[in-house]
């Protein structure tokens, strides 16, 4: 039985992506070779990575707007460091908005390299909200934001107004909603939620931003070098890039980001309405800041957890346990998850209430 996959990442992929990816491993395009046994310099693969880079820009409406797209490695965690390496000058300061574990990690990593300032934080209330009316100092080399807090289930709906370069970790909500992406100078995301599978990170950078970098950076850490080498400075993660290529094509064929946003809103409304209605659960993220990607919720009576878990298991609901640091439950409802999976989860929650409420 195919399970209903609410995993936070690596996470659900569209069926057609899985099928094409599986086929490519066995016999890529009837070539008699597997995709993962050919050279990354083979024109077939060069076409795949370039198409995926283009598709990413097109989906975000950044094509011909002076941006480059890269597929790099090391996860979003490596971008925490690469961003700082490239953008933080010797005497400069980087600003961080701390809205969850991942932004906290990003800012910690940056602090090894230079001066950082925490511009705003929601740590005081266990990351249950998004700080508002943020005053951004004007002397920053860049401001770093995490658009969606995967663990605690909050999401920026509006971004701070600022003239300093805006860097955004969109790991868990890229391609999920329409934004004016030209507001961002650098966007990065690990692929394993809305953009493919793990092993690759998508980086989208405004070329102009890199022109001001004067320091020498090791090649593997340099965005400029990766752009110059068209994302092939070293051997890319070929299989992961191919899964991203398929996922982005699927996204385009499914109506693009606007269609995803409509679908994601419908799913989010469904699950949050149930969390609010059901007497056995509560949500802790502030309502206006709730994520449309990761819905977090808790049992009012923890002693019922085993019963709820058993019901979920029986219905093939997978991956709704909260992050180990947060506890409770988390339904990750990324682009590829169908609304029928959310409907099923809601039914299970209702059934649970009837039995134990």
Residues at the interface with ligand PMP (CB under 6 A): 9, 75-77, 102, 146, 150, 169, 171-172, 190
Is 63 among the residues known to form the active site? no
- In DSSP terms, which residues pair with 95 in a beta bridge? 117, 143
Report residue 280 as tokens: 């056995």
Q: How far out from the chain centre does Cα 295 lie? A: 14
CB of 328 to ligand PMP, least distance (A): 17
The DSSP call for residue 183 is G
Among 13, 20, 40, CA closest to 232: 40
Out of 20, 102, 263, 289, the active site residue is: 102
The catalytic residue among 20, 141, 169, 263 is 169
Looking at the Cβ atoms of 28 and 127, the one nearer to ligand PMP is: 127
Task: Count other Cβ atoms within 10 Å, centred on residue 263.
Answer: 20
Residue 250 a catalytic site member: no
Least separation in angstroms between CB 295 and ligand PMP: 15
- Residue at shortest CB range from ligand PMP: 75
193 included as an active-site residue = yes
Would you say 207 and 67 are in contact if contact means Cβ atoms under 8 Å apart? yes
- Residue 47 CB, nearest approach to ligand PMP (Å): 26
What does the chain come to in residues?
357
* Minimum gap (Å) between residue 353 Cβ and ligand PMP: 30
Instruction: Determine the Cα–Cα distance for residues 193 and 213; give it in Å rounded to an integer.
Output: 31
Contact between residue 239 and residue 36 where contact means Cβ atoms under 8 Å apart? yes
CB-nearer residue toward ligand PMP: 107 or 231: 107
Query: Of 28, 27, 59, 56, which Cα lies nearest the Cα of 43?
Result: 28
Measured from the CB atom, is 152 or 245 closer to ligand PMP?
152
Rounded to a whole number of angstroms, the minimum distance from the CB of residue 5 to ligand PMP is 15
Neighbours of 221 (CB within 10 A): 17
Q: Are strands 67-72 and 201-206 parallel, antiparallel or unpaired?
A: antiparallel
Please pick, among 193, 206, 263, 267, the residue that the annotation labels catalytic: 193
When the beta carbons of 68 and 332 are compared against ligand PMP, the nearer one is: 332
Shortest Å distance, C-beta 191 to ligand PMP: 8
Closer residue to ligand PMP (CB): 244 or 299: 244
Which residue in this structure is represented by tokens 């692929």? 191
By C-beta, is 159 or 356 nearer to ligand PMP?
159
Minimum separation from the CB atom of position 116 to ligand PMP (A)? 17
Burial class (CB in 10 A: 0-12, 13-18, 19+), 30: exposed
**180's tokens:** 């004016």
Nearer to ligand PMP, 10 or 256 (CB): 10
Q: Three-state SS across 277-330?
A: HCCCEECCCCHHHECCCEEEEEECCHHHHHHHHHHHHHCCEECCECCCCCCCEE
> What's the CA gap between 285 and 129, in Å, rounded?
6
Q: Any idea which residues carry the catalytic annotation?
A: 102, 169, 193
């Amino acid at each position: 039985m195919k399970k209903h996959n609410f995993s936070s990442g690596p996470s659900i992929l569209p069926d057609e992506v899985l099928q094409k990816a599986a086929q490519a491993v066995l016999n890529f395009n009837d070539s008699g070779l597997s995709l993962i046994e050919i050279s990354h310099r083979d024109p077939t693969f060069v076409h795949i990575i370039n198409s995926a880079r283009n598709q990413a820009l097109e989906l975000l409406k950044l094509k011909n707007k002076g941006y480059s797209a890269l597929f790099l490695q090391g996860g979003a965690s490596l971008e925490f460091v690469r961003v700082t390496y490239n953008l933080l000058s010797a005497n400069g300061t980087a600003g961080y908005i701390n809205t969850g574990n991942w932004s906290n990690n990003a800012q910690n990593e940056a602090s090894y390299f230079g001066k950082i300032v925490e511009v705003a934080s929601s740590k005081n209330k266990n990351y249950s909200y998004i700080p508002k009316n943020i005053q951004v100092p004007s002397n920053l080399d860049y401001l770093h934001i995490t658009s969606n807090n995967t663990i605690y289930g909050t999401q920026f709906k509006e971004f701070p107004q600022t003239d300093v370069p805006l860097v955004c970790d969109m790991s868990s909500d890229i391609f999920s909603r329409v934004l004016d992406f030209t507001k961002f100078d650098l966007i990065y995301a690990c692929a394993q939620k809305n953009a493919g599978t793990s092993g690759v990170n998508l980086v989208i950078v405004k070329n102009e931003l890199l022109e001001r970098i004067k320091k020498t950076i090791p090649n593997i850490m340099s965005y400029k070098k990766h752009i110059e080498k068209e994302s092939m400075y070293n051997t890319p993660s070929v299989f992961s890039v191919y899964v991203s290529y398929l996922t982005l094509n699927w996204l385009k064929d499914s109506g693009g980001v606007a269609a995803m946003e409509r679908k994601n809103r419908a799913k989010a409304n469904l699950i949050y309405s149930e969390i609010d209605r059901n007497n056995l659960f509560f949500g802790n993220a502030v309502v206006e800041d709730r994520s449309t990607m990761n819905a977090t919720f808790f049992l009012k009576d923890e002693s019922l957890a085993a019963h709820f878990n058993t019901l979920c298991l029986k219905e093939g609901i997978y991956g709704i346990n909260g992050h180990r640091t947060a506890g409770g439950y988390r339904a990750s409802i990324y682009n590829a998850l169908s609304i029928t999976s959310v409907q099923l989860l809601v039914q299970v929650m209702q059934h649970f209430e009837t039995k134990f409420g």
